[in-house]
Amino acid sequence: MATENLQIVRSSGPRNGTLILQLKGSLNIHTVFDFQNALRSETAPAVILDFSGVPYIDSAGLGALVAAHVAAQRASRKVAYTGMNTQVMALIEMTHVNQVFPTFASVQEAELAIS
């Protein structure tokens, strides 16, 4: 089996204190620890997770998203999710996580909503 990688590109948003993490690759049991470590190391008051480069999320990835959301709430940080494709959105909607996660069509929409 080939080793899977998840690339996480960090950039500052145009608004002060906003961080954008663009994910590239599947978020699954093989890559979830890289995702968790990247989020734990961030201290920005607002984080936008851009999933436009994520083709697939499995149950481990979904669990990591829920854990990230809970950790952000406990730390009084804002997290928004954007760029999810139809497969990823189907999983989010099927599990009713979309009722808890603020999801947006674009990074710009997410930034306006969380600032």
Looking at the predicted structure, is the pLDDT value of residue 13 above 50? yes
Q: Are 30 and 53 in contact (CB under 8 A)?
A: no
Domain membership flag for residue 52: yes
CATH number at residue 23: 3.30.750.24
Domain membership flag for residue 53: yes
- Rounded to two decimals, the pTM is 0.90
Number of domains in the chain: 1
Domain membership flag for residue 1: no
Which residue range is the domain that position 43 belongs to?
7-114
Domain membership flag for residue 101: yes
Q: What does the pLDDT read at residue 42?
A: 86
Domain membership flag for residue 2: no
Domain membership flag for residue 88: yes
Round to whole Å and give the CA distance between 84 and 89. Answer: 6
Domain membership flag for residue 107: yes
Round to whole Å and give the CA distance between 47 and 79. Answer: 5
**Model confidence pLDDT, tens digit, residues 37-96:** 999 888 889 999 999 999 999 999 999 999 999 998 899 999 999 999 999 999 999 999
Helices 32-40 + 59-74 axis angle, to 10 = 10
Q: Are 89 and 57 in contact (CB under 8 A)?
A: no
